[in-house]
Structure 1
Amino acid sequence: MRKRIFFLLAALSLLLVLTACGNSSADGKGKTYTVATDSNFKPFEYKNPKTGELEGFDIEIIEEIADRAGFKVKFETMDFDGVLAGLQSGRFPIGIAGMSITEERKESIDFSIPYYDSGLVMMVPNDSDIQSIDDVDGKKIGSRQGSTSQAYLQENTGAKVEAFPEIVTAYMDVKEGRLDGALYDLPNVLYYMNQEGDDKLKTVGDVLEGQSYGIALKKDSEIVDDVNQALESMIADGTYAKIYEKFFGEAPGDKWLGE
């Protein structure tokens, strides 16, 4: 009799475990996901020079989303084009790296709802004769490998495009006169100019291609809805605005205030 009760209890326990595992697999709760990211895109993601820890706006956003959605994250850093390739191949389930939502990218990966509005801007030396994107034909212009800025230059200008794994290399080359300019995402350009530009650089022309950043997920991801619901709740309760102000020093636009 005792053996029968023991086996019944064991079978019931196994059934409960299998049911719990099935639920976890279905919606992602309790799982740990690897997040592919860059480590040189301030203030979105970067390594603290003192601690070596990964920090930034993107990092805190995805950590908060994971907490609300009931899963855990661990990070793996690489060049930006490696993030894209890893998501497209299914190697990584999540990617966050100031990634613009584009129709082309949506063919091979999924995106969350937007979480940041950006655009492209041209940075040049103070004494440059470049006044807008219309003046870059034949000029050496830097960008980041695999980025929308590289694609924009190649498709819309006659510039001699030099793309780098790390955009800061292009910025440094502009500052030192090795490049005529660089085209990249507005917040990162402004951050570099403020922190390391040494008053040698300026932006010119209009902000190009208004873009929205999204959290990237492998195609047909099981957690798209969970991520979106968590992000929407962050915006609604003001958590998003607090994280934004921490890294950008000002309140976000009205659409992000949850009002």
Structure 2
Amino acid sequence: MKKWLLSILILTLAVVLIACGSENEEDSSGGDDDSSSEASKWDEIQEEGELVVGTSGTLYPASFYPEDSDELTGYDVEIMKEVADRLELDLSFEEYAVDGLLSSIESGRVDMVINDMEITEERQKSFTFSEPYKHSYSTMVVREDDLSGIDSLEDIEGKVHGGGATTVYAQIAEHFGAEIKSYGNVTNDVYLRDVENGRTDLIINDYYLQSLALEALPELEVTIHPDLQFHPKESGIVMPEGEDELKEKVDEKLNEMREDGTLTEISEEFYGGQDASEKPDVDAEEIEGLDI
């Protein structure tokens, strides 16, 4: 009996020692994991020496390819180039459809996104935004002959809105009862022609983007609705959630660019002499009950 009890005690002691040893090893390795996980996105970017930025490449004049050119440019693109240059980093762009841009941050395929992305309360729950580099408001492209039968925002109900399904503009359209026709990563003329030919009835989007797109395609029989200006907005560079150090570095350069006139200069180049870096002098209607 004594031998049996002694064997049990020895086995119990061995199990305790093994468990303690494993726990200590986990503590030790866990410390290493914690220290490596503490490396911020900014640390990673500095180590790589490069910023990888997501954009669509099809959003004129924010992010696009000029005719007969393979060089990406636009208001957003040139701002990002200047930020990277001032941070002394190389820069590369990865192109995604609008509905895939935010998920490219979550998957780690890009470090940040710039694509006229509106700063909203809902998005700020999952992402970090820079200070605004653009201020604007929303307008609506409709058919030129009858304004697509729309006299007010309430008249959108039952109409077909063309655009990315995950955009704030689609949310506005749905808020007023429109059906959403979504697209892949297509250029502005595809959206506009669908309004002209009746496949869709309207496109809600940014005033500056829409006015420049229509100027570039004057042959299309579509127009910006003359009586509807709504939903004032701000656009920022999107970064992973909680990356405060990266935001601080980006904001510092954006503020420098605002103070030395670089943001104004870039905006006037791409927005027909208009300064989108400052709040427009327009009384745009706030939309009540819009949860974005």
Max Rg structure: 2
Q: 1:140 to 1:28 in 2, by over 3 A?
A: closer
2:54 is matched with which residue? 36
Which residue is equivalent to 1:160?
179
**CA deviations over 1:120-147 (Å, ceiling 9, x no partner):** 2111111222123221211222222321
Look up the equivalent residue of 1:250 and give its one-letter code. Answer: G
Structure 2 equivalent of residue 26 of structure 1: 43
Please state which structure has a larger fraction of its residues in strand.
Answer: 1
Q: Is the 8 A contact 1:28 1:223 kept in 2?
A: no
> Secondary structure in 1 aligned to 2:130?
strand
**Normalising by structure 1, what TM-score?**
0.83
Q: CA separation of 1:23/1:141 partners in 2, compared to 1, >3 Å: closer, same or farther?
A: closer
1:214 aligns with 2:230: no
Tell me the distance in 2 between the aligned counterparts of 1:25 and 1:71. Answer: 11
In structure 1, stretches of 5+ residues that fail to align are 1-21
**Distance of 2:277 and 2:217 partners within structure 1:** 30
2: distance between equivalents of 1:167 and 1:134? 28
Distance 1:163 1:208, change over 3 A: farther
- Which secondary structure state, in structure 2, belongs to the residue aligned with residue 141 of structure 1? strand
* Aligned mate of 2:124, from 89, 95, 106: 106
Query: 135, 138, 145: which one pairs with 2:158?
Result: 138
Question: What are the superposed Cα offsets for residues 216-250 of structure 1, whole Å, 9 maximum, x if unpaired?
Answer: 11122241111000000011011111111111121
Conserved? CA contact 2:193–2:220, under 8 Å: no
Give, in angstroms, the shift of residue 100 of structure 1.
Answer: 0.3
State how far apart, in whole Å, the 1-side matches of 2:168 and 2:162 are: 12
Instruction: State the distance in 2 between where 1:242 and 1:200 align.
Output: 32
**Counterpart residue identity of residue 246, structure 1:** E
- 1:84 paired to 2:102: yes
Task: Give SS of 1:41's match.
Answer: coil
Kindly indicate whether the alpha-carbon contact (under 8 Å) linking 1:141 and 1:179 is maintained by their aligned counterparts in 2: yes
Asked if structure 2 preserves the Cα contact closer than 8 Å seen for 1:35 and 1:92, the reply is yes
Ranges in structure 2 where 5+ consecutive residues have no aligned partner: 1-38, 280-292
Give the distance between the partners of 1:27 and 1:142, measured in 2 at CA.
38
Q: Which residue of 1 aligns with 2:267?
A: 244
Separation in 1, partners of 2:199, 2:218: 15
Given that 1:150 and 1:163 are in contact with CA atoms closer than 8 Å, whether structure 2 keeps it comes out as: no
Q: Do residues 119 (structure 1) and 137 (structure 2) align?
A: yes
Given that residues 140 and 181 in structure 1 are in contact (C-alpha distance below 8 angstroms), is that contact kept between their aligned partners in structure 2? yes
Asked if residue 171 in structure 1 is aligned to residue 188 in structure 2, the reply is no
> Post-superposition shift, 1:27?
8.2
Q: Report the Cα distance in structure 2 between the residues aligned to 1:69 and 1:120, rounded to whole angstroms.
A: 32
Query: Matched residue pairs, number?
Result: 234
Deviations 1:54-80 (A, max 9, x none): 111111101101111222211011101
Preserved contact between residue 122 and residue 132 of structure 1 (Cα < 8 Å): no
Note the aligned Cα RMSD (angstroms): 2.3
Is the alpha carbon distance of 1:88 and 1:104 closer, same or farther for their aligned partners in structure 2, counting shifts above 3 Å?
A: farther
Q: Secondary structure at the match of 1:194?
A: helix
Residues 88 and 218, structure 1, Cα contact 8 Å, conserved in 2: yes
1:99 Cα shift? 0.3
Q: State the AA in 1 paired with 2:58.
A: N
- Cα distance, 1:160 vs. partner? 2.0
Give, in whole Å, the separation in 1 of the partners of 2:82 and 2:91.
Answer: 10
Indicate the percent of aligned positions where both proteins have the same amino acid.
27
Could you say if the C-alpha distance between residues 253 and 137 of structure 1 is closer, same or farther in structure 2, counting changes exceeding 3 Å? Answer: closer
Q: Find out whether 1:151 has 2:168 as its counterpart.
A: no
| Kept after mapping to 1: 8 A contact 2:136/2:276 | no
Q: 1:113 to 1:127 in 2, by over 3 A?
A: same
TM-score, normalisation: structure 2: 0.74
| Preserved contact between residue 175 and residue 197 of structure 1 (Cα < 8 Å) | no
